[in-house]
Structure 1
Amino acid sequence: MTTTPSIHLARVYDNLDDVRGARLLVDRVWPRGVTKSELALDDWIREVAPSTALRKWFAHDVEKWEIFQRRYRAELDGRNEPVSRCLDWCRRGEVVLLFGARDRIHNQAVVLREYLCERLAAR
């Protein structure tokens, strides 16, 4: 029996001292006011983030959340290399998807975690 590794979420502005697992930044742009040493990243997979057009359209408007999720998943379906990089990390062990958005419930990392979990389970 195989178990699916845990995929956690953390905001880059949180205290990350107790964060366990490979740290993957999944934002397209570097978060303001945060240094590379503070994040201690294992990988920055910016290509897995929503396109600039989708990100700007969504603008963290909760009313657009359902449509954003569908559009972002469609983008992920077409991004084999960055999705594969994320999946490779997940297969090795615990992973933390780091994001900069203020909203912890309505952001791309939430969608990405669900997407990766589905892909891992389908294997």
Structure 2
Amino acid sequence: MSVRVRRVHEAPEPDDGVRVLVDRLWPRGLAKEAAQVDEWPKALTPSTELRRWYHADGGSYEEFRERYEAELAAPEAAELLDHVRELAAKGPVTLLTASKDTGHSHAAVLARLLAG
């Protein structure tokens, strides 16, 4: 199973496989054609409240990860997570985010869950 995280603003690469945008909001200044996004499961993204807490209030990444994983246990999010896991079982999946620090983002949490 191949899952990787990339910034959505980077040019698509041939080995990206299925490109899944994992941000709730469409990235500013990016044309949909340029992004070449195959899927955009908005319900798989962190809630607005959690996102604001983490970015605006300076929450710790570990606490963010725990809260986000709890959100992913909700039925709709869990179903979407299973869907992306099925995609990854068939071939490469690239999780796309506008986050500048992909290693400490919700996309990294998703990648870890999908790989494990």
TM-score normalised to the size of structure 1?
0.84
Aligned to 1:105, the other structure's residue is in SS state helix
What percent of counterpart residues are identical? 36
CA RMSD of aligned residues (A): 1.7
Contact 2:9/2:35 (<8 A) preserved: no
The answer to whether the 8 Å contact 1:48/1:76 transfers is: yes
Match of 2:28 among 32, 43, 46: 32
Structure 1: any 5+ residue segments left out of the alignment?
Answer: 119-123
Deviates more, 1:14-23 or 1:107-116: 14-23
Which 10-residue stretch deviates more, 53-62 or 95-104? 53-62
* C-alpha distance in structure 2 between counterparts of 1:17 and 1:83, whole Å: 23
Matched residues, number: 114
Select which of 107, 110, 113 maps to 1:109: 107
CA distance in 2 between counterparts of 1:61 and 1:117 reads: 29
Alpha-carbon spacing, 1:62–1:15, altered in 2? closer, same or farther (3 Å): farther
**What SS does structure 2 have at the residue aligned with 1:109?**
helix
My pick for the range that moved more, 83-92 or 56-65, is: 56-65
Unpaired stretches in structure 2, ≥5 consecutive residues: none
- Are 1:45 and 2:41 an aligned pair? yes
Is the contact made by 2:11 and 2:35 (CA closer than 8 Å) also made in structure 1?
no
The corresponding residue for 1:84 is 82
Is residue 58 of structure 1 aligned with residue 54 of structure 2? yes
Q: Counterpart of 2:95?
A: 97
Counterparts of 1:59 and 1:74 in 2: how far apart (Å)? 18
Within a 5 Å distance, the mapping from 1:4-19 to structure 2 comes to: 5-19=1-15
The separation in 1 between residues aligned to 2:93 and 2:56, in whole angstroms, is 24
Secondary structure of the residue aligned to 2:71 is helix
